Structure 1
């Protein structure tokens, strides 16, 4: 089987050298798949994604054990800027935009991290507008004056301008109307199916994430407690109770859903 594009191996992480956030988390993302990272607020999803992009040091955090490998590169030994050039591009939680720049200016900043001709950038911009037509209509609007959905589309569009091979998304549905969420996920799935874009998405909204993902991993208190095929997880009525931390999963659930391992899919 094809080697994973991203492999997280028994990773532990802490903030300020004392607040442990991850306990031996392992998962992999295969080329051309959508992998959902599920869990309630505070379970370690954002920490995992920041560890993937080597962004923890900026928040006084660090990976204290294990390793993360993206396409053969140890992310802990690779700068965030170099990871972006290699094709690992993250959209942080919170719809981060340059509020004083227009929507189009925000999109263009996504091409600054790579060497590209003006014609290539123009083509990428046209592609983003084809994916999110609303952005073309609002291209001259200040990002800070656009709606929450438009800001999220801008943040994702800016990431696409970097030509990612692995797009890492942190809570893209947060605070958005259901129709907007559906539109964003439909476009992400189309990019995945038609262009082979690999996606790792962290979500509290398990219903949406499992609808579009190929596989999923569930975090609870910084531990990867369940993992496997998204359709299998989606069909379990009792996954919701476990997912929201209302109790320990039944032995039947553990038996039927493969526990995530560092060698899954190898």
Structure 2
């Protein structure tokens, strides 16, 4: 692998630094190169390139907004013996603490970036440039329905099936009189994917797409890692709209279903509970 990295990065030096990391899916290792220190994520699964290509595009999109710091993506490299690596900028990071408020402000700036670009374009062209697709339909069918289909295939869970049959009819009610501007989302913003360096907060491991800004706060509230100063700073720029609490549960439902499909039945109870709460 290291010979391949040297060739693809055009470096004579490739020295492990001792900084390593990893999560549920990929391993990681930092290296010193001729042009500086990089962090390399490694995954040997067949779908690794597809996953890393998506992460590269996500980091690139967030990086270009100049709103919140992310590791600058460098290159996705396929390995000769299967699998793939993703090379990105190395950042010396520590747990999020003093920059929580700053992260709230910068995350809101990220979510408002696309709207400001559209507003600027509209002003310059003096034309309407409205988002044509239906977010509620997209979220219901492409996100929740997809996860429920996987649950059905793996578990054939009658309670989940019956609850979803009722809930999907009710979902449009949660979005009445709500104007949604498509926001660039990190997509997986839980406490394990945020940190800070000397200059300020850092977010990483994104799964970005354009959607409702409130979706971002679903998983943020599930596993801790964000204090009140983060939420206060965020909502000062993007105030909570009526019905936020219900929609927040709806957005958490996707993540609980996703975890049920990835990690097993330990997440079944939370998935069923949210669906029943939303039906009350």
Q: Which has the larger strand fraction?
A: 1
Q: Which has the larger helix fraction?
A: 2
Shorter-chain TM-score bucket reads under 0.3
Give 1 or 2 for the bigger CA radius of gyration.
2
Q: Please report the TM-score for the alignment, with normalisation by the length of structure 2.
A: 0.24
- Structure number with the bigger relative contact order (C-alpha 8 A, sep ≥ 6) is 1
Q: Please report the TM-score for the alignment, with normalisation by the length of structure 1.
A: 0.25
